[in-house]
Amino acid sequence: MKKLRAHAAGIDIGAKHIFVSVEDKEVRVFETFTDSFREALSYLLSEGIETVAMEATGVYWIILYEILESAGLDVWLVDGRQTK
């Protein structure tokens, strides 16, 4: 499969944890508190990430989406069944 975006990461959001995947790195786990979302943002920026694909159900994604977008990241909310 052809890579469409360089410097991209994937995030899976649950009720208690978010899972952040950056290519060639171990998946990082963060809690679902605002401070933890900011830690996740710092991690993404330190890895040079520009685009984030987030898979989420319910409303858990909204605050994280706003934090990432306000930091200038290109954030996509995606259906996890259609994303690799």
Domains of the chain: 8-82 (3.30.420.60)
Is the pLDDT confidence value at 83 over 60? no
Record the tokens describing residue 32, joined without a space.
């679902």
Q: What is the pLDDT of residue 5?
A: 67
pTM, 2 dp: 0.88
The identity of residue 67, as a single letter, is I
3 versus 44: the higher-pLDDT residue is 44
22 versus 7: the higher-pLDDT residue is 22
Specify burial of residue 30 (Cβ count, 10 A radius: 0-12, 13-18, 19+). Answer: buried
